[in-house]
Structure 1
Amino acid sequence: MKLLFTLITVLGISTLFAQEYKGLAQGQPAQKNYLTTVPYTFKRDKMIVQASINNKTYNFLFDTGAPMAITAKVAKELGITSVNKLQIQDANGASDSLAVVNLNNIKIGTVTFNGVPTLVVDKLGPLECLNIDGFIGSNVLRNSIVQILPGNKTIIITDSPKSLKLSRKNSVKMFVEPGQASPLVSISLLTDKMDADETVLIDTGMSGFYDLSTAVYKNAQQYDLFKTLAQATGFYTLGLYGNSKSELQYQVKLPELAIGKFGFKNITATTTSDLRSRVGIELLKHGNITLDYLNGRFYFEPFGDKKSVDLAEKSWPFKPVVKDDKIIIGIVWDAALAGKIDAGDEILSFGNLNFNGMDVCQKLLSDFKAVADNVALVIKDAETGEVRTLQVSKE
């Protein structure tokens, strides 16, 4: 049995002023027949690239799930003034109005882009710990073909598909959403009894492999497509405007997810308040990806000759998150821990990570993945202030 889950596209962008404004999907490369290679670095699971505006070099998060954005500090430094304001919704559903400017002379590698609508963000919140000045988003890339090669940490940007030696057998159709040129692809969700198609956002700004939209999860419940492992109230994601609101969330298991002919087995995912599911940066652990905005194709070229990969792994029975300069418990998945730890409790130490004396950026950039599978957790009760220690294990 095959199902098709189709969600209404919610762009999250509406014009507040100037009815003639045409949206964020504008701007053009200044050259033709171009190819440039741009190195990137990883910082806390985020891709950081350098680009220049008016010959001044800045650091950007490379984020296909967002439009081009700069900080207010950069806008002031460049002497750029706002031309409009837009209502912008972040990944958690929070919204606010942001200034938008048209930028020229954006140089990424050797390619220059002009006339690109760019959001001006007052503050980047916890993302400021990455020392970035904004986002390189899909609207600036929408007239190009973008290949990401994790083996040597480079991004190739070109307008010539022939220069990349792409194999169509490794591709699926990609829809470029008209509002901000977000890349959307159809994936297959597979069980022993059925498979379903879901349209997801390819989001290089998202940590993790697959975030499941709560709306899709609820639509799929009647078909037992996902196995619900746990449900709890809390929050664990950060958006442009800060933490998501506390609400009922779900932890689920999916037997297999396929992109084209390649399968990812035994996926554990958590739900997100965004109305669209997302495939994130961990896809790059398994192969090269190419987003052909020009011709509407998405390529995934797996490493080696495997046809699938098993993503089964243990996870902690809670999720930490940064709030008010503290590391706190965002959500507790294991009901057996109720009363021992609760959402909102401050984490003072976690295995070999001692957060006492750390500033917020040191906390945020701590390597939680380096913590052993069974460790002592020291927390401060959010209600009583009591400090207590318990042993926790990955499950």
Structure 2
Amino acid sequence: MLRPVVLALAVLLPALTGIAEAQNRDLRTVFTAPIAIERSEPVTEIPIDFRFGKLFIAARVNGEDSEFIFDTGSPTILSRALADTLDLVTIGQNTGVDANGTAVTMDVAIAASIELGGVRFIDVPVLVFDYSGVDPGGCIFTGGVIGSEILPGSAWRIDMQRMTLGIAESTDVWPAAEDGIRTPLHDFGYPHAPVIDYSVGDISDRALFDTGSPDQVALFARVAEHESVLDGFVDGSVMRGRGYEGVSAGGSGDLEPLIRATLSDFRAGSHQLGPVRASVRGVPPTLLGAGILDRQIVTLDYPAGQVLLAARSEPAEARREAGYGVQAIGGEVRIMRVFDGSHAASAGLEPGARVLAIGDRSLTSETPETQCDTVRWLLDGFDPADAQSLLVDGEEGPVVINVPATE
């Protein structure tokens, strides 16, 4: 029996590269200062909307109402358009890395208040980013992202069965689940992202609970390569292919080998969550993603330093996995990934190929408005698991490729 292997998860304060001389603020102090919280009542609930594979919530920043993606794996990032509307003053710049490991520099400002229902967070450091320059951000990001630096000081219950986000002083306001899981929550400082212990095979490590990831689990490649983890892949569940892991603030990553598999053994702390469906990602850390919310109600209890997981009484239906994926990039629609042995691979689709039309819908847009219509349709109206006829730009001209439905 191999001894457990522990891979250290480095959670570092991003490099701080600029200070506004006029205000003479030390950015490290700005990022690490506790955020004051005002509550109109001990517990409040706000609705969650699920679109484009993301969790959307309404919030008010400095008195301005807008819609935001709720992303526990990110700091709070306001869109440039909203920041300009609010006349926010830049106090410096921050350089960090996005989900693909690419360095990204953003302006830093202070939001005097961020209100979620009856909860008000005061003097919140926020990053500012122009989403219009990144696909598909300009079409789906209105206010930006509400992220993890406001999480300390509250218990947060994410219940996608009821489609609500609960915010409370403590978990005492909610009934305890008889068969629920409790495991430690680690907070390594700004941006205070929730980190939990996990183990798979003979590997013990720490994972980021990231509602910005659509997967149940996104397993760091070094973990996935371990013999004891490979032995835990359920027979017949492995899908291998090539493609791009996704688009983040710094753009799309490189063309990479892709792996999906079902893990028979995955534990949150010492508690069994498996079997879980996992993808493999090239950059650390391992992520416990929003896909787990299909099966679990998750509570991030920062005051008590614990994560609570309770099985939903009505789990969501299992999602069909298509053998390929598409995305709008730079005004064009491209094949982002293709898995070996799939109908898409057999039909001849290749990662990077430009798609001119799907069925009778043209994807060659001329205006920003029609481009955003295409982006939103691809994210929320198009299902590659259905039978599709794709018009692809080939070496000798357009080629029709028919892809049967995924069973």
TM-score (norm 1): 0.86
Give the drift of 1:319.
2.5
Which stretch has the larger CA shift, 353-362 or 152-161? 353-362
> CA 1:3/1:294 → structure 2, altered by over 3 Å: closer, same or farther?
same
Distance 1:211 1:247 in 2: 15
**Which secondary structure state, in structure 1, belongs to the residue aligned with residue 264 of structure 2?**
strand
Say yes or no: does 1:380 pair with 2:392.
yes
Give the aligned partner of residue 313 of structure 2: 304
Distance 1:181 1:332 in 2: 35
Which string of whole-angstrom CA distances, capped at 9 and with x for unpartnered residues, describes residues 202-258 of structure 1? 11122232212223223x247634549354442141212222222333333422323
Give the drift of 1:73.
1.6
Give the aligned partner of residue 280 of structure 2: 271
Say yes or no: does 1:44 pair with 2:56.
no
Give the aligned partner of residue 212 of structure 1: 219
> CA 1:232/1:288 → structure 2, altered by over 3 Å: closer, same or farther?
closer
Give the drift of 1:314.
5.3
C-alpha contact 2:223 2:229 (8 A) present in aligned 1: no
Distance 1:325 1:147 in 2: 38
Matches within 5 A, 1:311-390: 315-334=321-340, 337=345, 340-350=348-358, 354-356=361-363, 359-366=370-377, 371=383, 375-381=387-393, 383-390=395-402
Give the aligned partner of residue 31 of structure 1: 38
Give the drift of 1:372.
7.9
Which string of whole-angstrom CA distances, capped at 9 and with x for unpartnered residues, describes residues 289-326 of structure 1? 10012221111110239xxx899875322222322223
C-alpha contact 2:52 2:380 (8 A) present in aligned 1: no
Say yes or no: does 1:158 pair with 2:168.
yes
C-alpha contact 1:50 1:58 (8 A) present in aligned 2: yes
Matches within 5 A, 1:1-395: 1=1, 3-11=4-12, 13-18=14-19, 20-22=26-28, 24-31=31-38, 34-123=42-131, 125=134, 126-167=136-177, 169-189=180-200, 194-218=201-225, 220-221=226-227, 224-225=230-231, 227=233, 229-259=238-268, 261-265=271-275, 267-304=276-313, 315-334=321-340, 337=345, 340-350=348-358, 354-356=361-363, 359-366=370-377, 371=383, 375-381=387-393, 383-394=395-406
C-alpha contact 1:34 1:111 (8 A) present in aligned 2: no
Give the drift of 1:90.
0.7
Q: Percent identity?
A: 20
> CA 1:167/1:291 → structure 2, altered by over 3 Å: closer, same or farther?
same
Distance 2:184 2:68 in 1: 28
Distance 1:48 1:176 in 2: 24
C-alpha contact 1:12 1:89 (8 A) present in aligned 2: no
> CA 1:75/1:312 → structure 2, altered by over 3 Å: closer, same or farther?
closer
Q: Which amino acid aligns with 2:310?
A: E
**Which secondary structure state, in structure 2, belongs to the residue aligned with residue 31 of structure 1?**
strand
Which string of whole-angstrom CA distances, capped at 9 and with x for unpartnered residues, describes residues 331-390 of structure 1? 22216837922111123455x683446633333333678748562432413544331223
C-alpha contact 2:111 2:124 (8 A) present in aligned 1: yes
> CA 1:272/1:362 → structure 2, altered by over 3 Å: closer, same or farther?
farther
Unaligned runs of 5+ in 1: none
Distance 2:316 2:107 in 1: 44
**Which secondary structure state, in structure 1, belongs to the residue aligned with residue 372 of structure 2?**
helix
Give the drift of 1:40.
1.7
> CA 1:372/1:128 → structure 2, altered by over 3 Å: closer, same or farther?
closer
Q: Which amino acid aligns with 1:390?
A: N
TM-score (norm 2): 0.83
Give the drift of 1:123.
1.9
Which stretch has the larger CA shift, 133-142 or 160-169? 160-169
> CA 1:294/1:341 → structure 2, altered by over 3 Å: closer, same or farther?
same
C-alpha contact 2:109 2:125 (8 A) present in aligned 1: yes
Distance 1:368 1:79 in 2: 33
C-alpha contact 1:3 1:195 (8 A) present in aligned 2: yes
> CA 1:141/1:241 → structure 2, altered by over 3 Å: closer, same or farther?
same
C-alpha contact 1:44 1:365 (8 A) present in aligned 2: yes
> CA 1:114/1:284 → structure 2, altered by over 3 Å: closer, same or farther?
same
C-alpha contact 1:101 1:119 (8 A) present in aligned 2: yes
**Which secondary structure state, in structure 1, belongs to the residue aligned with residue 27 of structure 2?**
coil
> CA 1:51/1:315 → structure 2, altered by over 3 Å: closer, same or farther?
closer
Distance 1:114 1:65 in 2: 21
